Structure 1
Amino acid sequence: MDTTLLLKKLGDDILIIYIYVDDIIFGSTNKKLYDEFSKIMSTEFEMSLMGDLSYFLGFSIKQNEEGNFLSQSKYIKDILKKYEMDNAKPVNTLMSFSF
């Protein structure tokens, strides 16, 4: 059980809250729930709303009408650069197929 992930359901709507160290990420299927939570948190704590989530814990996040997409391409590029492998020649990895 993850004690940093909180869920609140009201009928068909849901409010999701994730706390990581000093960051908090939240979203809702209902704008009113989102706004109420944001207002409560802003009055209790010093916080700033950063807008839509685009990067978190090494994941790039893209949100559009087709869905939400996670990618670690930036994270991988940063690791390759750190170890001076960003100009290395890629090599195919052989893989056997069995069904």
Structure 2
Amino acid sequence: MQQMDVKSAFLNGYIEEEVYVRQPPSFERAKFPDRVYKLRKALYGLKQAPRSWYARLKSFLLKSRFVMGSVGKTLILLSRGGDTLIIHVDDITFGGSSHALVSSFAKQMSREFEISLMGELQFFLELLKGTFVHQAKYTKDILNKFDMGDSKPMTTPMSTNTTLDADEDGEAVDQMEF
């Protein structure tokens, strides 16, 4: 599986609605301070931006003889001479049964969009490649031991990234103690 990044992906989408924006700060025209601009393409932060990018990418792929997967809107397939290429459009991860087909897809995308090939897939939908240790079973066993197995979890009442400072008397605080 490979991964690519489309540079400024949302800026490649076309919007169908009429959307007007104020003049950006530092780019106001002194003669026309109240002038607004009609957008022709999507901008980051625009509610329609993700949808318009998806529509643009989907349209490009369908014109290139890809077909929508039956599982959902994010898988797109291409079959050619017994080989198959699968694309997950959200993160543009892709792989296939033929190196030539995978390479051809990357070239096709680079002709249409400005892309960066990120190489072998290392990270997908917040899942990392590798082995991870967790203590979920241990935690459940402790809760059950103290008859708290059915208790409802609560969120931490404070940010987990808070840095503790020295106390008002000037003594150093052992941050690991808390």
2:45 pairs with 1:45: no
Q: What is aligned with 2:80?
A: 10
2:101 pairs with 1:19: no
**Larger RCO: 1 or 2 (CA < 8 Å, sep 6+):** 2
Tell me how large the CA RMSD over aligned residues is.
2.7
The offset of 1:4, in angstroms, is 1.3
Please state which structure has a larger fraction of its residues in strand.
Answer: 1
TM-score, L = length of structure 1: 0.58
1:6-85 residue pairs with structure 2 within 5 A?
A: 6-20=76-90, 23-61=91-129, 73=132
The offset of 1:56, in angstroms, is 1.6
Moved beyond 4 Å, runs of 4+: none
The one-letter code matched in structure 2 to 1:24 is I
C-alpha distance in 1 between matches for 2:74 and 2:140: 39
Identity among equivalent pairs (%): 39
In the alignment, structure 1 segments of 5+ residues that lack a partner are 63-70, 77-89, 95-99
In the alignment, structure 2 segments of 5+ residues that lack a partner are 1-70, 145-178
The one-letter code matched in structure 1 to 2:128 is S
> Radius of gyration: which is bigger?
2
SS in 1 for 2:108: helix
